[in-house]
């Protein structure tokens, strides 16, 4: 999968920009606050119809403008087509091959990306919400059904939490409606769990040998799915549904006391262990960074396994956070097979001899100039 070019209109500090990319490693070089990360954000937003940096999409629109538009040309093995996403104060419009998509779940997945930024180093030691987001973003790109079910689950969850508060305050009294919402949530929750458990198996299968290699055979990584209901590999969708319903039944009084939904995928987590020890709590900073690097490289391979094509890799100022050994493993793993976009303030901190003929773009004050042109 290759992103051949991108055109921006009124996006962040770019009033207008059109730039073509190479199929290999593309380096965005420049000082801070010049537009490097903005260009990276635009590529991400073109793929996922959202920003990796902010939940307020209006921030992506250039000052005093009404909308921002990103278009791109995507080349896959069997097809080539344009993508377009428009962010406005009224919402967003997404187009594939010039046709507007009624649902974002039909748009997301046309261009697949893996983002690796400094904040991703908190994936292991940060809050559980970071790891749930990681699961949802990767699965959502690979499986439109998962993305559709996730949106429905979040909608029902919001309704159920609101109704629990109304029951507690006496504004509502109908227990039957709560039962209906509970059953709907358990059905969707079971669907999400099936996809998540399958993905974790695939991810661990790729991450284990990668981690072993990066750690010079010294460490063994395992990934476990942590839920507040009892899970086993033998459980199918029906069994998971029954487990969720039983959890809701037993936890009914606790949910009433707290006026919030306490069970389901929105409360789950991932556990990473290195040599049998929880790396979140007991791992060194080096072990945590190796774990995250292994996960990111495993993501790339998982997408290729599921989709039959490698995603695009976005490295936003992350190489400077990795030592020489981890840089080497990262660049070796992506060499000649993954189109890569990399931001940096200087090439000095990067092992130049490990980057095979990069295309370098100098970025200053929202202007982009390809080196040698």
Tell me the HSE value of 153 on the side-chain side, using a 13 A CA sphere.
Answer: 21
Asked if the model's pLDDT at residue 46 lies above 90, the reply is: yes
Query: Which residues define the annotated binding site?
Result: 30-37
| Confidence (pTM) | 0.89
- Is 32 buried (19+), middle (13-18) or exposed (0-12) by CB count in 10 A? exposed
Model confidence band, residue 222 (pLDDT cutoffs 50, 70, 90): very high
pLDDT for the residue 328: 83
Model confidence band, residue 353 (pLDDT cutoffs 50, 70, 90): low
The 8 Å CB, 24+ separation contacts for 55-62 are: 57/87, 57/92, 58/87, 58/89, 60/11, 60/12, 60/87, 61/10, 61/11, 61/87, 61/88, 61/89, 62/10, 62/11, 62/12, 62/13, 62/14, 62/15
Model confidence band, residue 216 (pLDDT cutoffs 50, 70, 90): confident
pLDDT for the residue 179: 95
Mutual angle of helices 285-307 and 324-334, in 10-degree steps: 0
Model confidence band, residue 209 (pLDDT cutoffs 50, 70, 90): very high
pLDDT for the residue 318: 84
For the chain, the domains span 1-112+312-372, 120-308
Span 195-205, mean pLDDT?
A: 95
Angstrom distance (rounded) from CA 229 to CA 37: 40
- Is 171 buried (19+), middle (13-18) or exposed (0-12) by CB count in 10 A? exposed
E strand or H helix at 16, and its extent? strand 14-20
Sheet-wide strand order for 221-226: 221-226, 269-274, 277-278
Span 13-30, mean pLDDT?
A: 93
Model confidence band, residue 33 (pLDDT cutoffs 50, 70, 90): confident
Q: Determine the topology of domain 120-308 in CATH.
A: Glutathione S-transferase Yfyf (Class Pi); Chain A, domain 2 (1.20.1050)
pLDDT, tens digit, 9 for 90 and up, residues 64-106? 899 999 999 999 988 999 999 999 988 999 999 999 999 888 8
pLDDT, tens digit, 9 for 90 and up, residues 226-248? 998 988 877 899 999 999 999 99
Nearest CA among 267, 264, 261 for reference residue 168 = 261
Q: CATH classification of 1-112+312-372 is 3.20.20.70, yes or no?
A: no
Angstrom distance (rounded) from CA 31 to CA 150: 39
Q: What is the CA radius of gyration of the chain?
A: 22
Asked if the model's pLDDT at residue 18 lies above 90, the reply is: yes
pLDDT, tens digit, 9 for 90 and up, residues 126-185? 999 999 999 999 999 999 999 999 999 999 999 999 999 999 888 888 889 999 999 999
Q: Is residue 132 within 8 Å of residue 266, measured between CB atoms?
A: yes
Angstrom distance (rounded) from CA 247 to CA 249: 5
pLDDT for the residue 329: 83
What rounded mean pLDDT belongs to the chain? Answer: 91
**Within its chain, how far is the Cα of 46 from the centroid?**
13
pLDDT for the residue 351: 55
Q: Quick one: what percent of the chain has pLDDT higher than 70?
A: 97
Span 8-19, mean pLDDT?
A: 94
pLDDT for the residue 327: 83
Query: Which residues define the annotated binding site for ATP?
Result: 30-37
Angstrom distance (rounded) from CA 49 to CA 57: 10
Asked if the model's pLDDT at residue 354 lies above 80, the reply is: no
pLDDT for the residue 352: 56
pLDDT for the residue 350: 64
């Amino acid at each position: 999968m290759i992103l051949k070019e991108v055109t921006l209109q009124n996006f962040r500090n770019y009033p207008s920009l059109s730039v073509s990319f190479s199929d290999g490693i593309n380096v965005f070089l420049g000082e801070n606050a010049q537009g490097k990360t903005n260009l990276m954000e635009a590529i991400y937003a073109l793929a996922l119809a959202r920003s990796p940096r902010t939940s307020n999409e209006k921030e992506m629109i250039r000052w005093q403008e009404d909308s921002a538009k990103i278009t791109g040309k995507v080349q896959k093995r069997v097809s080539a087509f344009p993508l377009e996403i428009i962010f406005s104060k009224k919402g967003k419009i997404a187009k594939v091959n010039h046709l507007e998509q009624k649902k974002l779940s039909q748009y997301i997945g046309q261009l697949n990306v893996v983002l690796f930024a400094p904040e991703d180093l908190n994936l292991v030691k940060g809050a559980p919400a970071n790891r749930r987001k990681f699961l949802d973003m990767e699965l959502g790109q690979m499986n439109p059904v998962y993305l559709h079910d996730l949106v429905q689950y979040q909608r029902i969850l919001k309704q159920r939490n609101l109704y629990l508060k109304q029951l507690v305050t006496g504004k509502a009294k109908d227990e039957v409606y709560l039962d209906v919402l509970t059953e709907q949530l358990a059905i969707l929750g079971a669907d999400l769990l099936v996809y998540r458990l399958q993905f974790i198996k695939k991810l661990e299968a790729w991450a284990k040998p990668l981690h072993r290699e990066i750690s010079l055979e010294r460490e063994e990584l395992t990934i476990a799915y942590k839920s507040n209901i009892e899970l086993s590999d033998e459980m199918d969708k029906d069994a998971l549904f029954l487990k969720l319903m039983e959890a809701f039944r037993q936890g009914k009084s606790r949910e009433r006391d707290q006026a919030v939904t306490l069970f389901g995928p929105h409360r789950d987590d991932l556990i990473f262990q290195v040599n049998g020890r929880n790396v979140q709590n007991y791992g060194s900073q080096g072990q945590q960074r190796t774990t995250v690097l292994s996960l990111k490289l495993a993501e790339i391979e998982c997408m290729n396994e599921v989709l039959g094509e490698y995603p695009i890799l976005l490295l936003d100022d992350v190489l400077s956070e990795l030592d020489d050994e981890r840089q080497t493993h990262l660049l070796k793993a992506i060499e000649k097979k993954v189109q890569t976009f990399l931001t940096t303030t200087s090439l000095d901190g990067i092992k130049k001899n490990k980057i095979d003929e990069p295309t370098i773009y100098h970025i200053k004050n929202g202007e982009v100039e390809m080196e040698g042109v």
